[in-house]
């Protein structure tokens, strides 16, 4: 599996995030080692996540439970 470019973030829970523009798929790598995808995520949501003061807080409030997710690792 080829991952998009992953951007390291400052978070107590999230290690890095990436985005595939062709498929509108958000990739989130957690410090636990788990890797999740979130489907049909608009690029604006990815950009807001990437620049959020609290990446974990933004993820919990605006992505988890809103977009279909899949644990891939």
pLDDT band at 60 (very low <50, low <70, confident <90, very high): very high
Residue 55 is classified by DSSP as: H
pLDDT tens, residue by residue, 16-49? 999 999 999 999 999 999 999 999 999 999 999 9
- Mean pLDDT across the stretch 55-70? 97
User: Residue 2 pLDDT > 90, yes or no?
Assistant: no
Task: Spell 8-37 as b/e; 16+ CB within 10 A means b.
Answer: ebebeebbbbbbbeeebbbbbbbeeeebbb
Provide the residue ranges of all domains of the chain, joining segments of one domain with +.
6-71
């Amino acid at each position: 599996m080829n991952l998009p470019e992953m951007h390291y973030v400052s978070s107590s829970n999230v290690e890095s995030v990436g985005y595939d523009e062709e498929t509108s798929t958000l990739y989130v790598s957690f410090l636990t080692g788990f890797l999740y995808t979130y489907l049909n995520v608009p690029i604006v949501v990815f950009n807001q996540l990437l620049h959020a003061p609290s990446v974990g807080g933004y993820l919990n409030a605006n992505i988890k439970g809103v977009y279909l997710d899949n644990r891939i690792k």
